[in-house]
Structure 1
Amino acid sequence: MIGRVAGAPVILTPSWFVAAVILTVLFAPTVQNLAPRLGREIYLVSFAFVLLLFASVFLHEVAHALVARARGQHVTELAVTLWGGHTAYSGSSARPLDGFLISVVGPLTNLALAVVFWFSFQAQPTFTVPALLLYAGAFSNAFVGFFNLLPGLPLDGGQILESAVWAVTGSRTRGTVAAGWVGRVVAVGVVAWALLWPLTVGVRPDLWTVAWAALIGAFLWSGAGQAIRAGRSREAVSGLSVRGLARPAVPVASDASVAAVGREVARAGGPHVVAVVVDAAGRALGYVDPGAAAAVPPDAAETTPVAAVVVPLPAGASVDAGLVGPDLLAALAQVGRQASVVAVTDAGRLVGVLEVSTVVAALRTARQG
């Protein structure tokens, strides 16, 4: 961690150093052609350009972070990586406008920097090393800005397209899937450009350029695919509800007998109903194991306390009956892994139980469908 922005840590990943070395070496021949008198200093100038480039990318991410926080998101991380950088924040955009503003501000920051660098370059009386860096800063920021505006995920332009489709259709999933498929088209287009553009001007494609285009295209294709899967998964999650998955429950006193509990369950609706032992305040203490209760001999059921067939529930292992989608999953995550069954309450009153395995199975089925 090298600092904090918008309350979030700024992380310089080890992959950045790899990228810095590669870009320094790649940019060195350009520096040598433009400033042949520099000698070995070309690598120092080339590295200065790399620092300038990543500083621009960092400002791009800072813009994302600041707007995300202004739109009510909690920014968790800003990272400078091999591919430039990313900003992570918890939660998701509640409205299309949020996603649009958070996404568009990054490329606009780069385009604004490109304008500043360009006019600063134009103000230089001679083509010196500082002028070279200003020119490179203008070009690189313009490239980063326009490239990120391409309308396909995982690029910022894809987020903008997602927000637009979301606003028109009312479905964020449709926006995500559409922007993901456009992102795949962009990925193919990057590789096609590297192969076909040289042929249109009568030269052979450069192997190094094609290799880089293929690497970028693979990155974009993978990101687009992940976005499509994430969109469909989000739709699957949104269809889950506590009311739809919970089993009804009947509260029973802790001093009741197994036979008395059986009669309560029968009156409440039969085998599908779960008996839950509650305390004097109505808080769930545990649920009756149907198998264990059935194993009690009939002649001993009236004298066997229900505590003998109860599976305890961890303290606080309950969820509200009105939870749906991500809120349901978040509530189950808060309860913890030790609870395979949780109580369901409505306005503080016990109404059912929810098995975590049922939620997992429903989520898997929805994703496959």
Structure 2
Amino acid sequence: MNRPTPRTPPRPARQDAAGRTKGWVIGRVSGAPVILTPSWFVAAVVLTVLFAPTVQRLAPRLGSEIYVVSFAFVLLLFASVFLHEVAHALVARARGQHVTELAVTLWGGHTAYSGTSARPLDGFLISVVGPLTNLALALVLWLAFQAQDTFSVPALLLYAGAFSNAFVGFFNLLPGLPLDGGQILESAVWAATGSRTKGTVAAGWVGRAVAVGVVGWALLWPLTLGVRPDLWTVAWAALIGAFLWSGAGQAIAAGRAREAVSGLSVRGLARPAVPVASDASVAAVGRDVARAGGPHVLAVVVDPAGRPVGYVDAAAAAAVPPDVAESTPVTAVAVPVPAQGTVDAGLAGQDMLAALARAGREASVVPVVDGGRVVGALEVTRVVAALRDARRR
């Protein structure tokens, strides 16, 4: 399953301080690290033990080697999942996304990438390629199995690999978030309605139905055959159902939050600002601010070309004694802003948030420009407060 950011379904693996999944980097794909998480070893052990009885039933002549064969199947399964994630990563990069990591986890794996899909087609292509990769692998492995003369250990692995890839491919195509099929449904509803939020919410609710259906299948299908439900099957179905329900719920919340965010804009949140020359004095800046409207106006320091290089700390400027204000340069009370640390006045919603992120994580005030001219200043605390209020509505 691909796990894009900013729409973030649950990520079972823990993250480090940089936001990256914890684990060992074992390679790179599309420039992004491939991370093997500690939880993978738990999954490998559990799946090896669970698959061993099947190996023994299909190959009764094997002794303790059944665990070797079982572990080989687990490696084959995770290799298939890894190729699933590689397919997501390659298509995401081809569609203009920045792939940040591929992780192999307890649940199989995920691909994380930054950026937002500009069109429904982007989300569809990124999502569908993963399951299609598994179905193609299933076909290749099945044909290789059919070519075997005897039901040997290699034939057993080919058969198991074909079956597991077919299962992973078809299961991920179920039309509910956080599965790939849910993101395909999201793209379809988005294309039909013009609203990505409607697509996300619809796919999230279908994802909840899928979660209930997985548990219901484990409980009710055996009863239709006149047998008791298997405890292990029910337990695994409940675990998978809980994961899907949680992911669907987070997707619904993310969709509604995105709708709330879409109503916010730079123009609506920015404070008025007046550009001041970098060689101006504190006193001159004070007069410019007073003429522009008073304390509510921020002063943005610009270089000779008109590019913002900082903003005036009002408290620091007010602390300068009046008798030295004329001789004190404004740079003495200015807070520098990073290069390209501005936002365009016409941005709104997710585009606004992405621009703020690019302007710098440590910035507290970001100059607002329109056609290269300073027209305001955006306080990050004000944006955060507006986001909080919008999500509460």
Q: TM-score if structure 1 supplies the norm length?
A: 0.89
Mapping for residues 325-336 of structure 1, pairs under 5 Å? 325-336=349-360
Aligned residue identity for 1:331: A
Equivalent pairs, count: 364
Would the alpha carbon gap of residues 279 and 154 (structure 1) be closer, same or farther in structure 2, given more than 3 Å must change? closer
Mapping for residues 1-369 of structure 1, pairs under 5 Å? 1-252=25-276, 255=280, 258=283, 264-265=288-289, 267-276=291-300, 278=302, 280-284=304-308, 285-287=310-312, 289=314, 293=318, 304-305=325-326, 311-316=333-338, 317-369=341-393
**Which structure is higher in helix share?**
1
1:8 and 1:24 mapped to 2: Cα distance? 29
CA deviations on 1:219-251 (whole Å, 9 max, x unpaired) are 111111221222223333333322111111233
Contact 1:71 1:98 in 2 (8 A): yes
User: Alpha-carbon deviation of 1:304?
Assistant: 4.2
User: Alpha-carbon deviation of 1:313?
Assistant: 2.3
2:342 and 2:115 mapped to 1: Cα distance? 22
Contact 2:282 2:317 in 1 (8 A): no
For residue 12 of structure 2, what is the aligned residue in structure 1? none
User: Alpha-carbon deviation of 1:337?
Assistant: 4.6
2:272 and 2:200 mapped to 1: Cα distance? 36
User: Alpha-carbon deviation of 1:164?
Assistant: 0.3
Contact 2:342 2:366 in 1 (8 A): yes
Contact 2:89 2:111 in 1 (8 A): yes
CA deviations on 1:137-156 (whole Å, 9 max, x unpaired) are 12111111111110001111
Contact 1:261 1:306 in 2 (8 A): no
Q: Identity, % of aligned pairs?
A: 81
Aligned residue identity for 1:71: R
Would the alpha carbon gap of residues 45 and 288 (structure 1) be closer, same or farther in structure 2, given more than 3 Å must change? closer
Would the alpha carbon gap of residues 146 and 264 (structure 1) be closer, same or farther in structure 2, given more than 3 Å must change? same
2:305 and 2:147 mapped to 1: Cα distance? 77
Secondary structure of the structure 2 residue equivalent to 1:105 = helix
Secondary structure of the structure 1 residue equivalent to 2:369 = strand
1:33 and 1:252 mapped to 2: Cα distance? 81
User: Alpha-carbon deviation of 1:66?
Assistant: 1.8
For residue 13 of structure 2, what is the aligned residue in structure 1? none
| Worse overlay, 99-108 or 149-158 | 99-108
User: Alpha-carbon deviation of 1:257?
Assistant: 6.7
Secondary structure of the structure 1 residue equivalent to 2:33 = strand
Would the alpha carbon gap of residues 224 and 306 (structure 1) be closer, same or farther in structure 2, given more than 3 Å must change? farther
CA deviations on 1:271-304 (whole Å, 9 max, x unpaired) are 54334455554455433627975x99xxx96984
1:227 and 1:47 mapped to 2: Cα distance? 34
1:17 and 1:327 mapped to 2: Cα distance? 39
Secondary structure of the structure 2 residue equivalent to 1:339 = coil
User: Structure 2 stretches of 5 or more lacking a match?
Assistant: 1-24
Aligned residue identity for 2:80: S
Using CA pairs below 8 Å that are at least 6 residues apart, which structure has the higher relative contact order? 2
Contact 2:280 2:329 in 1 (8 A): no
Secondary structure of the structure 2 residue equivalent to 1:38 = coil
2:100 and 2:286 mapped to 1: Cα distance? 51
| Worse overlay, 269-278 or 196-205 | 269-278
2:77 and 2:324 mapped to 1: Cα distance? 79
Would the alpha carbon gap of residues 306 and 83 (structure 1) be closer, same or farther in structure 2, given more than 3 Å must change? farther
Secondary structure of the structure 2 residue equivalent to 1:342 = strand
Contact 2:301 2:334 in 1 (8 A): no
Contact 2:188 2:199 in 1 (8 A): yes
Would the alpha carbon gap of residues 280 and 49 (structure 1) be closer, same or farther in structure 2, given more than 3 Å must change? closer
Aligned residue identity for 2:334: P
| Worse overlay, 268-277 or 152-161 | 268-277
Q: Kindly report the root-mean-square deviation, in angstroms, between the aligned alpha carbons of the 2 structures.
A: 2.6
1:120 and 1:263 mapped to 2: Cα distance? 82
2:353 and 2:109 mapped to 1: Cα distance? 29
Secondary structure of the structure 2 residue equivalent to 1:37 = coil
CA deviations on 1:120-144 (whole Å, 9 max, x unpaired) are 2223232222222222112111111
User: Alpha-carbon deviation of 1:34?
Assistant: 1.3
Secondary structure of the structure 1 residue equivalent to 2:336 = coil
Largest Rg, 1 or 2? 1
Contact 1:250 1:264 in 2 (8 A): yes
1:271 and 1:214 mapped to 2: Cα distance? 59
